[in-house]
Structure 1
Amino acid sequence: MSTTGLENSSVIVTGAGSGIGRATALRFAGEGARVVIADLNAASAEEVADAVRSAGGTAATVVGDIADQRVVDQVVTTAVESFGGIDVLVNNAGIMGKMSATADVTDADWERVIRVDLTAPFLLTRAALPHMLERGKGAIVNTASAAGLRGSASGTAYTVVKHGLIGLTRSTAVMYRDKGIRTNAVAPGGIRTDMVVDMDPAALAPSVVVSYKANSGRMGEADEAAAAIVFLASNAASNINGVVLPVDNGWSAV
């Protein structure tokens, strides 16, 4: 039996089809949770759902762009109708964009990164909160980034939205701490995933960022970030609220 308080809990994980999201969904499944797997890729979502069931969990899938309000509504409805409510929300889905420096960021790239990496977590948090308030408890964990702790870990758009996501985390934590709802974030450094960065290696930002990443240490594994996410969602973190936890092998301490 789970000692984390997550057994039979209703959990939403966005971007759960691969990388940190996949590892997180499987860790929740190992605790006996019921997981809504939200991802843009249908085949990936179904593969993870099968893996969750094999690990002893229960899974439901929602396929679509989490930056779309209709998909957000579908994710929340699925959790409530399939699993009776929402105990945990993990806003993990994200893109890096073209990793451009400020003068090189296009309107389209700026707006897309903000929509997926910041607006989508806000929309899903706003939609999930009434269900958590109804229960008088809940845990929200946002996947921020080392880029949200410094100005040198990625391109401008990604860096800006991860700073914004940390602001969303802290504001929500303060606003709802007396309502039984905790909101925290993890800030991964370099993690070995299949996230694709569509960038021009000859552009300014990559050449600048590479020099700073020399201090980043070894690449982390997706499951290491997932372990921190599940911890923050669990009863073991019952008095932890508004924290941004680096998962970066000490990069943020350099």
Structure 2
Amino acid sequence: MSGAVIIGAGPGIGRSVALRFAREGLPVALVARTNAVVRDIAESVGSLGVPVVPLTADSTDETALRASLDAAADRLGPPDVVVYNAAIIQADSPGELSVRAHLNAWAVNVVGALTAAAHVMPAMARHGSGTFIVTGGMPEPKRQYVSLSLGKAGVRTLVALLDQQYGPSGVHVATVTVAGPVAPGTDFDPDDIAEHYWRLHLQPRSLREREIVHTGRATDGAPVTDGRASAVIASLFSSWQAAFNDHRAGDLSSLFTDDALFQGRNPQLVAGTAQIRRYYENVPEGTTAKVEVLEGKLLSENIVTGFADVTCTAPTGETTPLRISVTAEQIGGTWLIRQYHAAAPVAQPLRGR
């Protein structure tokens, strides 16, 4: 299998995701409704030196969409990853749209993704690998965006159903839920959002996530220091939380570099994945953690640092708040934790008015 297929390759997320995969050396096939749009993005992707296949198809035209996927496979081979990014984003209140307009929106937002999945995922399942990601949104429904709220709720359900069908065969099915309007230079910069797609594609089977929500801001409402760094930190903590709650000590230790420095709730400093695994093996089974990422900062192209508030709940129900800081390094395309420190959070000082 080889390459990535981006359906709905528009100038926002679609373009950024295509460039993100191309920077890793993957050939890219682009599918958009108009030739002008797809040619423009193909030129940007091709400048990175990877093979690029521009294709035109409307995601609601089943015959054309399937034909474009076949054309991509003929040129590049069966895809490693398919991203469905097509959507109708419009403001409409209850009862405002006609039945036909609702059906049109549903066809783009949900049915096109199902058509693409049905076309490529059986082969992925036979091969035992592959990634299928749908761009989601509207984590909470809004009455001002009825058709979009219904569509994105449908996407979330569709991803769950596809995971039930193809996940056991080794296919990673996921959605990146974008919780705000996408625009360059904002907390919803498409280049920052694109990092989630690459992270999902890289995740080992034992640590796979089905949904990443890009909120674009810290929990106190202030802008994050660096959107890309925060996306990396959020993804690491999400994998950490899932493995911690399932008491998978081996998967937890795999999130760290071989020589990582680690200090957990006790004052003893340990180093290396073997000692980190032993530390987590000694955590009482049934202990859970809930993570809220606070901030991320890019220190260099391959090093990020960040903070999260974590609430640990013991099997007895007793809770312990922690402030965890991490520094992570990108090694061979994978982000791993190099330094980890947990401490009781410091109370914030009172501020005068």
Alignment TM-score > 0.5, same fold: yes
Q: Deviations over 1:41-63 (max 9, x none)?
A: 21121121121111132110111
Q: Give percent identity, aligned residues only.
A: 21
Quote how far apart the aligned CAs of 1:174 are. Answer: 2.2
Residue matched to 1:151: 141
Partners of 1:190 and 1:128 in 2: CA distance: 29
Unaligned runs of 5+ in 1: 1-7, 195-217
Task: Report 1 or 2 for greater relative contact order, CA contacts < 8 Å, sequence distance ≥ 6.
Answer: 1
| Mapping 1:32-181, distance limit 5 Å | 32-97=25-90, 99-145=91-137, 147=138, 149-152=139-142, 154-181=144-171
Distance in structure 2 (CA, Å) of the matches to 1:240 and 1:78 = 32
Separation of aligned partners in 2, 1:44 and 1:15: 10
Q: Tell me, in whole angstroms, the C-alpha distance in 1 between the residues paired with 2:128 and 2:150.
A: 32
1:24 matched to 2:17: yes
2:194 pairs, out of 213, 226, 243, with: 226
Q: Structure 1: which amino acid aligns with 2:130?
A: G
Deviation at 1:238, TM superposition (A): 3.6
Residues 1:173 and 1:242: Cα distance change in structure 2 (over 3 Å): farther
Does the CA contact (< 8 Å) of 1:15 and 1:22 recur in 2? no
- Taking the aligned partners of 1:253 and 1:41, their CA distance within structure 2 comes to 41
Find the residue that maps to 2:206 and give its secondary structure. coil
8 A Cα contact 1:190 1:248, kept in partner = yes
Counterpart CA distance in 2 for 1:252 and 1:142 is 25
Structure of larger gyration radius: 2
The number of residue pairs the alignment matches comes to 220
The Cα RMSD (Å) is 2.2
- Aligned-pair CA distance for 1:96: 1.2
Shift of 1:193: 4.3
Contact 1:28-1:230 within 8 A present in 2 as well? yes
Q: Which residue matches 1:192?
A: 182
How far apart are the structure 2 equivalents of 1:121 and 1:91?
6
More strand by share: 2
The answer to whether the aligner puts 1:239 opposite 2:229 as a matched pair is no
Q: CA deviation at 1:237?
A: 4.8
- The answer to whether the 8 A contact 2:4-2:82 is kept is yes
Between structures 1 and 2, the one with greater helix share: 1
Paired with 2:71 and 2:217, the residues of 1 have a C-alpha distance of 38
**If the length of structure 1 is used for normalisation, what is the TM-score?**
0.80
**Unaligned 5+ residue runs, structure 2?**
222-353
